[in-house]
Amino acid sequence: MTRLSVNVDHVATLRQVRGAAYPDPVEAATVAEAAGAHGITAHLRCDRRHIQDGDVAALKGVVRGKLNLEMSLAEEMVDVALATRPDQVTLVPERPEEITTEGGLDLLRHERDVMKTARNLTRAGISVSLFLDPDPDQVRVAARLLECVEGFEINTDSYSKCAPGAFGEDLAKIQECARLGAQTGLAVYAGHGLTSQNVRPISAIPEIEELNIGHALISRAVVVGLERAIGEMLASMLMPR
Ligand code: PXP
């Protein structure tokens, strides 16, 4: 089945808004894996609004599946990744004022910078994924970077904003990019804005190996607990169409 990587950023958000020591995203990661998550994702932002450097180091110590660190191309972040050695880094664009990641990397403009950072990380044994909008032109550039990029994560934000059942064009673009990416030898992942209501058409795309889901899962966990929220999401990912 499609793997689920649980993004624990917003466990840390809840901690940071009160400057408290709890809830602990590392404890949440352990519970998430015990509940069936296949891996854990955390985004270390330049403003440290949720995940902190110490969380990344602690996650590295406890995560048993794949630890995926989302980060910008900033040198400071590359240093953290090289010191911590997560299994995978997903490179994302980052704008200080944004509420959440607003779009994919623009490889048409930044191919050289991305290549330089990806090479640096790959040399240290870290797999590199790129967060990309569902645009075949972006995927074609990613395919040129196969020597230092293992895969890419399709941004499902625009898809997730469609009314249920009206995914038409957005879904078709994601399917096309997934097909194209897999044909060129890249691993294909997807995420952003996915919920148990909209996840199935995405988990049904055969080329997509893994989904990164955070906000909806952690929000649901506040009400019913993390274990049940993950169980529900895994069940939704497998629902008959
Ligand atoms: N993928 C990337 C690159 C992201 O930046 C985020 C948000 O941190 C996600 C996936 C998860 O999005 P959401 O929290 O909406 O599930």
Mutate to test the pocket of ligand 1, among 8, 9, 71, 101 (most ligand atoms within 8 A of CB): 101
Is-catalytic flag, 43? yes
Q: Residue 154 C-alpha to ligand 1 middle, in angstroms?
A: 11
Domain total in the chain: 1
In angstroms, how far is CA 199 from the centroid of its own chain?
A: 14
DSSP-based three-state secondary structure for 33: helix
The two tokens of residue 117 are 């950072």
If one counts every other C-beta atom within 10 angstroms of the C-beta of residue 122, the result is 17
Residue 8's domain spans which residues? 3-238
Helix (H) / strand (E) element for 208: namely strand 208-213
Cα separations in angstroms, 224 against 39, 77, 214: 21, 34, 15
CB of 179 closer than 6 A to ligand 1?
A: no
Quote the tokens at residue 83. 């010191």
Q: What is the pLDDT of residue 240?
A: 65
Distance 91 CA to ligand 1 centre (A): 12
Q: Is the CB of 157 under 6 A from ligand 1?
A: no
Euclidean distance between CA atoms 235 and 229, whole angstroms: 10
Distance 88 CA to ligand 1 centre (A): 15
137-186, pLDDT tens digit by residue? 999 999 999 999 999 999 999 999 998 777 789 999 999 999 999 999 99
pLDDT in the model for residue 134: 98
Nearest CA to ligand 1 atom 15: 193
- Position 230 scores a pLDDT of 98
Indicate if ligand 1 lies below 6 Å from the C-beta of 88. no
Task: Locate the DSSP E strands across 17-162.
Answer: 39-43, 66-71, 88-91, 127-132, 151-155
Q: How far is the CA of 79 from the centre of ligand 1 (A)?
A: 22
Binding site membership of 12 for ligand 1 (Cβ less than 6 Å): no
Q: What share of the chain is helix, strand, coil (3-state, %, to 5)?
A: 45, 15, 35
Residue 151 per-residue DSSP state: E
Q: What is the CATH number of the domain that holds 202?
A: 3.20.20.70
How many Cβ atoms sit within 10 Å of the Cβ of residue 11?
Answer: 29
Atom 12 in ligand 1: residue holding the nearest Cα: 192
Q: Is the CB of 213 under 6 A from ligand 1?
A: yes
**pLDDT of amino acid 96:** 85
Reduced 3-state DSSP string for the chain: CCEEEEECHHHHHHHHCCCCCCCCHHHHHHHHHHCCCCEEEEECCCCCCCCCHHHHHHHHHHCCCEEEEEECCCHHHHHHHHHHCCCEEEECCCCCCCCCCCCCCCHHHHHHHHHHHHHHHHHCCCEEEEEECCCHHHHHHHHHCCCCCCEEEEECHHHHCCCCCCCHHHHHHHHHHHHHHHHCCCEEEEECCCCCCCCHHHHCCCCEEEEEECHHHHHHHHHHCHHHHHHHHHHHHHCCC
Handedness of CA 93, 94, 95, 99 (dihedral sign): positive
CA atoms within a 13 Å half-sphere pointing along the CA-CB vector of 47? 10
pLDDT tens for the chain, 241 residues long, are 899 999 999 999 999 999 999 999 999 999 999 999 999 999 999 999 999 999 999 999 999 999 999 999 999 999 999 999 999 999 999 988 888 888 999 999 999 999 999 999 999 999 999 999 999 999 999 999 999 999 999 999 999 999 877 778 999 999 999 999 999 999 999 999 999 999 999 999 999 999 999 999 999 999 999 999 999 999 999 986 5
